[in-house]
Chains A and B, each alone.
Chain A
Amino acid sequence: MFAHLMDNLDLWRIGFANTLSLTVLSFVIGFIIAIPVGLARSRTGTWMSRITYGYVYIIRGTPLLVQIFLLYYGAGQFHKALSQLGLWWLFREAYYCGLFALILNTVAYQAEIVRGAVLAIPKSLEEAGASVSLSMLQIFRFIHLPIATARMLPALGNEFVLLLKASALVSVIAVTDVMGQARYLFSETLDLSVYYVAAINYLAIVLVAEAILRKLEARNIWLNPR
């Protein structure tokens, strides 16, 4: 069973690096974009909130597989226009295209997490900050941010695991992540064990990620006083 693993160690290493970089990059970039989107989403009644709600609804209502297909194959149809805009490199390379799809996808989910955390902060805290004459920026930095990040942590950790699993889907557009390498090796050797090796890879990443998350969450005990 481990003969394949040893023979193709380089392939697995590339796959592992690709999976990890896809997940971490899309998670971090997605989070940065999700903050303004989530804030816009939490201001109910404004047109910004309606647009972001529509975005979130569409992304969450469609399978990621369809989103990836739409971006990768759909963009190929607009090859000329995209070349003129200088954006063709983004859609030509399967890795970038997969990364782009994962970012678009995770922004919708993370925006909902941001929104939930922001709505859960009582208004009185904001007023207390204003009463000691903190600026808007300081209120955000010293009151909203620490409480919101602590509140978001469990949900964000969950989203990280979901994103890791979702990243396996980019193998359908021939990105060489763990899943992609497993499918390639399976087509070469017709040996099922490569999929079990891939499974162990994913399991290991999830277990490590959850251990780190538990450590981080332990620092936020002040959130739930008993």
Chain B
Amino acid sequence: MFELIALLSFGDQGWGDELLKGLGVTLALAFATVPFALIFSFLVAWSKEAPNRFLRMAGHGYTTLFRSLPEILTLIIIYYQSQAILNSFTSLFLPGISISINPFVAGMLALTLVFSALGSEVVRAAYRAVGKGQLEASYSVGLSSRKAFLNVILPQMWRHMLPAFGNLWLILLKDTSLVSIIALSDIVRYTNMAIATTKEPFFFYTVLALVYVSLSFISGRGQMLIERRVNRNMVGGR
């Protein structure tokens, strides 16, 4: 048992520092994806509510597509396809130079697509939950539609979006594990390296599972605190 624990120590003998480095990449990927995913969620939600029929269709098609494809397939297609596109570009304009796609960027892009397909529905539901009356009231006091959205609707939407976005954050956090397949050195990949040398798969994967469970636990606690703060002015708790 002690020998196994020693495998987690830092330095040359143990794998603790490598795993920590991988954890850093995992968290960096998740945190780097969130802002893009949020912006995309709003854009797709906006296109679903747009007066233009083709925009609406495109928005719904987007959600259907990325909700149906397995995340690993999306990730692999994005990774190889963007590489192929980049290669044909460089051969056209910069012959003799080869640029390779960064797996981190490919992972971010794929996770953004998946997250925003689900997130757009959350945004839409929150927009509906705020209600039409608020928009009409802001128009009646002479706000422009931009101001009405930014200053009246949006601040009220966060409260409705938080629980669902908390769930999506957990999904995102778990989905980052897939980038180990396209050779990004996240915590799963470092674990696999550790197993390749130490031949202790059960121990290392258990440690990995524990890391992810603690991340979910911390996320859940954080979400609870934020929700409590956002709802502090609401009578009746919610």
Contact = CB atoms under 8 A, between A and B. Distances in A.
A33 B212 CA distance: 25
B186 to A, nearest CB: 11
B69 A203 contact: yes
B139 interface: no
Contacts of B73: 168, 179, 182, 195, 198-199, 202
A13 interface: no
A67 B201 CA distance: 12
Contacts, number: 107
Interface in A59-96: 60-67, 69-70, 73-78
Given A65-B188, A77-B201, A77-B202, A166 B216 contact: no
Nearest to B80: A192
B34 interface: no
A58 interface: yes
Contacts of A64: 174
A62 B216 CA distance: 8
Contact of A179 (B72, B170, B174, B213): B72
A206 interface: yes
A195 B110 CA distance: 15
Contact of B69 (A66, A75, A171, A199): A199
B13 interface: no
Contacts of B201: 69-70, 73-74, 76-77
Nearest to B216: A61
A161 B71 CA distance: 12
B43 interface: no
A165 interface: yes
Interface of A: 57-58, 60-67, 69-70, 73-78, 161, 164-169, 171-172, 179, 182-183, 192, 195-196, 198-199, 202-203, 206-207
What 10 pairs across the A-B complex have the smallest Cβ distances?
A168-B70, A61-B216, A74-B202, A206-B68, A73-B201, A70-B205, A63-B177, A63-B174, A61-B213, A165-B70
